[in-house]
Amino acid sequence: MVRSFDWGLEHINGHPGQHDARWFVGEYASEAIARSEQWYAAPEVSDYRLDSENVLTFTSPLESPWPENNIVHAQFFPARKSGPAVLILPNWNAKWQGQVPLCHWFERVGITALKMSLPYHDRRMAHGHERADQLVGPNIGLTLHANRQAVLDARSCLTWLQRQGYDRLGILGTSIGSSVGYITLVHDKRVRAGGFFHVSTYFADVVSKGMTTNHVWEALRHEVTVDELREFWAPVSPMPYVERGMGANRNTFMVYGKYDPTFLPELTHEMLGALRKSGAEPRTLELPVGHYSLELAPFSYIAGWRMFTYFLEALG
């Protein structure tokens, strides 16, 4: 049985071992948001390596207990030796070959792509696991740690691209990659443009209300309320940074499904309303699809083409 507050605090830096774990996690989350610029500051990476198959590897700036997860893997699709480049962050439980066609399309339109494997995914999967349940799971401390790691890894990928001569950087995220990507965008001024497939507010709202994460909420709902979970996972949610106005002047394009049972439409509209209230002017595209049917023709062609033209304009 998962006992969310009996384990997981070891993944939170500075945990002094208090018995009142709820209080501690709440204080930790509040402090992380207040000093998010420091919490999401990526330490220097010294071991970048690009192999003959254009696979970039390096040691993650944030260590986890699983050695496999501590080596970041990213697939490089160079269109040019300099100029524009987009970091691509896939969806939850995406496979190694997932979104490769998307990367090739970016190559064809003259934009270099770097597709990063999220923590605990494909080549980074923890030994003995078949899913990336550490990134979205009932272990509250581990979920915080894993999503923070994803942002630090993404920022390290951006640093590598910059060192290669790519001076016009964008970021494209899908589903949880959208959440990680937005948080990266608002904390990294090098990112000129952000494209996001699926949009939502708080991590806890998606987990508690979404169809895909119902099993995670079932393991949590007898131990925490939605309000508590929203507070605990706030540092890895886009909404607190929107409410602080951190994304007000950022160039973004957001694509979402009218019938999405995972990122519920009311959450998407709440997020867009908060962005506009904070002074942001995101471009948007609503399609008559769900969460996964966005990947199907003809909607994938519509969404893909609009996304390509957006980045060509934003990074051109």
Q: Confidence class of residue 2 from pLDDT cuts 50, 70 and 90?
A: very low
Residue 17 pLDDT exceeds 60 = no
Residue 7 pLDDT exceeds 50 = no
Q: Confidence class of residue 13 from pLDDT cuts 50, 70 and 90?
A: low
Are the CB atoms for 72 and 59 separated by under 8 Å?
yes
Q: Which of 283, 71, 294, 88 is CA-nearest to residue 181?
A: 88
Sign, CA dihedral 294-296-301-305, equals positive
Q: Confidence class of residue 24 from pLDDT cuts 50, 70 and 90?
A: confident
Side chain identity at residue 109, one-letter code: V
Output the pLDDT for position 1: 39
Q: Confidence class of residue 12 from pLDDT cuts 50, 70 and 90?
A: confident
Output the pLDDT for position 22: 85
- pLDDT, tens digit, for every residue of 45-75? 999 999 999 999 999 999 999 999 999 999 9
Are the CB atoms for 221 and 208 separated by under 8 Å?
yes
Any idea how long the chain is? 316
For 118-129, b/e burial (b = at least 16 CB within 10 A) is bbbbbebbbeee
Q: Confidence class of residue 16 from pLDDT cuts 50, 70 and 90?
A: low
Output the pLDDT for position 271: 97
Q: What is the overall mean pLDDT for the chain? A: 94
Distance CA 85, CA 165 (A): 10
Q: Confidence class of residue 4 from pLDDT cuts 50, 70 and 90?
A: low
The single-letter DSSP state of residue 192 is: E
- pLDDT, tens digit, for every residue of 161-218? 999 999 999 999 999 999 999 999 999 999 999 999 999 999 999 999 999 999 999 9
pTM of the predicted model as reported, rounded to 2 decimal places? 0.95
- pLDDT, tens digit, for every residue of 89-129? 999 999 999 999 999 999 999 999 999 999 999 999 999 99
Q: Phi and psi (nearest 5°) for 252?
A: -135, 155
Distance CA 157, CA 58 (A): 9
Are the CB atoms for 270 and 201 separated by under 8 Å?
yes
